[in-house]
Amino acid sequence: MADSLTLQIDDFEVDVLTGIYSEETGKPQPLRFSIMVQMKPADRYTPDTPLSESKNYMDLKFAASEALPSGVHFKLIEAVADHVCETLFLQDARVEAVTVKIVKLAISEAGEKIGMTLHRERR
Q: What is the pTM of this model?
A: 0.92
pLDDT tens for 28-62 read 999 999 999 999 898 999 999 999 999 999 999 99
CA dihedral in degrees (13, 18, 22, 25; nearest 10)? 90
pLDDT tens for 71-85 read 999 999 999 999 999
Structural domains of the chain ordered from first start: 5-121 (3.30.1130.10)
